[in-house]
Amino acid sequence: MAKFKTQWGSIDSEVNLFPIYYLIVVYGIIYILPFGQIIIGSTWFDLLKKEDGPMEWLQFIQYFSSSLFGLFIFYKIKKKKSLNALIWLLLSCLCFFIAAEEISWGERITGFTLDSITEQSIQGETNIHNLPLFHNYILDPALQLICLFLGWIGWRKWPYLTALPSKKLSLFFLIVALFFAYYDLSWASTISHIRNDQEIFESLLSTGMFLHFWDNLRFIRT
Query: Region 141-152: what's the mean pLDDT?
Result: 96
| DSSP letter string, 109-121 | HH----HHHHTT-
- Enumerate the domain spans of the chain: 2-218
Confidence of residue 11 (pLDDT cuts 50, 70, 90): low
- Report, as an integer, the average pLDDT of 37-64: 92
Q: Label residues 57-68 b or e (16+ Cβ within 10 Å = b).
A: ebbbebbbbbbe
pLDDT at 222: 43
Q: Percent of the chain beyond pLDDT 90?
A: 63
Burial class (CB in 10 A: 0-12, 13-18, 19+), 151: buried
How many CB atoms neighbour CB 161 within 10 A? 16
Give yes or no for residue 177 having a pLDDT over 60.
yes
